[in-house]
Amino acid sequence: FAGYISQVLKNYTGHACDGEYVSLRCPHRTTISIQSSFYGRIVPSHQLCPSRYPHSYATLIKEDVACSVGTSLQKMLDECQDRRSCQFLVNSRLFGTDPCPGTGKYLLVWYKCRPNEYKSKVACEDDKLRLSCKKSMVIAIYSAIFGRTQGGSLECPYQNLGMPMIECQSATALQLMIKRCHGKRSCSIYASTYEFGDPCYPGIQKHLNVIYTCDNTPLLLPVDETEPPGLSSSSSSSSSMEPVGVGTEMALLSNILAAYAFIT
């Protein structure tokens, strides 16, 4: 049994060659959140999704290994975003104009499973952020941002000091929030450069924005996939779904760092 919290933290991949079905799915009480998508070909067919044509025919055409479709991400958002599961047949017609006719292509999708019900809390710079859950429930951190975002924060309006609107975010905010709060009933932390460092130019006002959920499922620590799985010559469409239990907090932190680096 894989815990709900560990499945929320995990990064998933879905993949399929042309002519195969791609299937994405998330556990109960979560929905698909597409992170990135690629459709095309950037490696030779003998390494990934071999041609379905006889070898003699394949030699008559020049395979394009610099082929990609710009509509891949939008198509995945249209088909799968905010759904519990989705499945469809992969082919070039789905993505509009074929940029490399005659070249077999493949789809790679990276996604997370977002809680259906989650809470968001914001603390302005140097204020204390407090998170808490009801009795017998624990905190599961979904995302954390410390810095300045393009849209700003309604709770922490910026003073216009004549500085350009530039995004700047701490690279360790998620890691720190998980270490401080994940799996606990309540926790608190100051939204300060002392805790998170200063990712911005001096004088830029920052805020801490944390999205989390409360759950009473026993905590199992995940092993995150940070690379898409290789597709063999007999590949069929699949998606990785099963987190693996790990025994130490350090393993959790190491996996979260790797996952955060990949998403960034």
Pairwise CA distance, residues 263 & 251, whole Å: 18
Q: Residue 243: its pLDDT value, please?
A: 34
Do the domains spanning 1-115 and 119-215 agree at the CATH topology level?
A: yes
The alpha-carbon radius of gyration of the chain (Å, integer) is 21
Instruction: Give the ranges where 143-185 is alpha helix by DSSP (H).
Output: 173-181
Confidence band (pLDDT; 50, 70, 90) for 22? very high
Q: Residue 86: its pLDDT value, please?
A: 93
Percentage above 90 pLDDT, the chain:
27
Q: What is the pLDDT of residues 208-252, one digit of tens each?
A: 999 888 877 544 333 333 343 344 443 443 443 333 333 344 444
The H or E element containing residue 51 is: none
Q: Provide the residue ranges of all domains of the chain, joining segments of one domain with +.
A: 1-115, 119-215
Q: Are 144 and 174 in contact (CB under 8 A)?
A: yes
Please report the beta strands in the chain, taking only residues with DSSP state E, as ranges in sequence order: 11-17, 21-25, 30-41, 67-68, 85-89, 106-115, 119-124, 128-132, 138-148, 168-169, 186-190, 207-215, 238-239
Q: Residue 54: its pLDDT value, please?
A: 55
Q: How many CA atoms lie within 13 A of 182 on its CB side?
A: 25
| Amino acid letter for position 183 | G
Q: Are 244 and 159 in contact (CB under 8 A)?
A: no
Confidence band (pLDDT; 50, 70, 90) for 182? confident
C-alpha angle 166/171/177, rounded to 5°?
115
Q: What is the pLDDT of residues 64-97, one digit of tens each?
A: 788 888 889 999 999 999 898 999 999 988 888 8
Q: Residue 141: its pLDDT value, please?
A: 85
Q: Residue 5: its pLDDT value, please?
A: 53
Q: What is the CATH number of domain 119-215?
A: 2.60.120.740
Mean pLDDT of 3-19: 74
Confidence band (pLDDT; 50, 70, 90) for 161? low
pTM given for the model = 0.54
Mean pLDDT of 20-26: 92
- Its sign, for the CA torsion 168, 172, 174, 180, is negative
Both tokens assigned to 202 = 């001096």
Quickly tell me which residue has 């990135």 as its tokens. 36
Mean pLDDT of 191-197: 92
Q: How many CA atoms lie within 13 A of 125 on its CB side?
A: 19
Mean pLDDT of 126-132: 93
DSSP string, 39-85: EEESS-TTTSS--SS-HHHHTTSPPPSSEE-TTHHHHHHHHHTT-SE
Both tokens assigned to 165 = 């609107």
Q: Residue 192: its pLDDT value, please?
A: 93
Pairwise CA distance, residues 29 & 47, whole Å: 37
Q: Residue 226: its pLDDT value, please?
A: 37
Confidence band (pLDDT; 50, 70, 90) for 113? confident
More confident residue, 125 or 221: 125
What's the CATH fold of domain 1-115?
Jelly Rolls (2.60.120)
Q: Are 38 and 108 in contact (CB under 8 A)?
A: yes
Q: Are 223 and 252 in contact (CB under 8 A)?
A: no
